[in-house]
Amino acid sequence: MRKYFIAGNWKMHKTVAESVTLAKDLASGLKDCGEKIMIAPAFTALSAVADAIKGGSILLGAQNMGPEEQGAHTGEVSVLMLKDLGVKVVILGHSERRHAYGEDDALVNRKVRLALSHGLETILCVGETLEEREGGRLEAIVGTQIREGLAGVAPGLLDRVTIAYEPVWAIGTGKTATPEDADAVHAFIRTVIAGLYGPESAKKLCIQYGGSVKPDNVAQLMAKDNIDGALVGGASLKPETFVPIAKFR
């Protein structure tokens, strides 16, 4: 049976103490959960959360990363610092980074290659705005984000890449893509990957859906052939919502 990859993106929420409490509650609530689980607290809480989940199966994630290993880059956090804290997965190219902080595909690509070259897993986020979808540009946008985001990534590294399809209009809005709509975009993503890496790699690729995933819609989404997991924002901030999402089956 396939294992789903359920990831929580805590965004800019929670103090260190609040993060530790949530991490401990999740560790105990998900002790017997068979899925692959990741939580990504704020940078400031990574170290404390790493301690709180030590010895368990929850993976520590980061929400972003600088594009250089080290140096004069005020305000950035390096891949080496993340690894030092036990981070295993880094979320890159989130739409909030792309749209509010001007990250383009070339910058996202530098981060993806750097993270992979240091042995981290990456979740590469892609997705269209409502305007792009309504203008018939969904495939052009998502296709470009994938092709440029993965440029120069060797086939042997693809098993450490997850793609998260997150339609921008569904993030934090309470609007979810229908399972059918999401599945169709995921199928399109597989054809893009097949073109780049061949059909076997496309079949094996883990593709998460993200955008207002909640306990009451997760099962219908995960039931779709091409949906292999979820990237969860708002509903990952409370055990009452994240535990039932991760234990949807």
Active-site residue, from 35, 94, 103, 128: 94
- 152 φ, ψ (degrees, to nearest 5): 80, 0
Distance, CA of 19 to CA of 239 (rounded, Å): 12
Catalytic residue list contains 13 = no
- 89 φ, ψ (degrees, to nearest 5): -135, 140
Pair of tokens at residue 235: 């509903």
Q: Please say which residue, 146 or 170, places its beta carbon nearer to ligand PGA.
A: 170
Can you say whether the dihedral through the CA atoms of 130, 136, 137, 139 is positive or negative? positive
Is 67 a binding residue for ligand PGA by CB under 6 A? The answer is: no
Shortest gap between Cβ of 230 and ligand PGA (angstroms)? 8
- CA-nearest of 102, 127, 115, 124 to 65 is 115
- Mapping DSSP to helix (H, G, I), strand (E, B) and coil, where does residue 242 land? helix
Which of 172, 195, 198, 199 forms a contact with ligand PGA (CB under 6 A)?
A: 172
- CA-nearest of 163, 155, 150 to 207 is 163
Is 149 a binding residue for ligand PGA by CB under 6 A? The answer is: no
Pairing of strands 36-40, 206-210: unpaired
| Count of residues touching ligand PGA (by CB under 6 A) | 13
Which of 66, 210, 229, 239 forms a contact with ligand PGA (CB under 6 A)?
A: 210
Is 166 a binding residue for ligand PGA by CB under 6 A? The answer is: yes
**Segment lying near ligand PGA (by CB under 6 A), choices 65-73, 114-122, 226-234, 240-248:** 226-234
- Mapping DSSP to helix (H, G, I), strand (E, B) and coil, where does residue 162 land? strand
Is 231 a binding residue for ligand PGA by CB under 6 A? The answer is: yes
Catalytic residue list contains 186 = no
**Segment lying near ligand PGA (by CB under 6 A), choices 14-22, 33-41, 179-187, 205-213:** 205-213
Q: Which residues bind ligand PGA (CB under 6 A)?
A: 9, 166, 171-172, 210-213, 231-235
Catalytic positions, please?
Answer: 94, 166
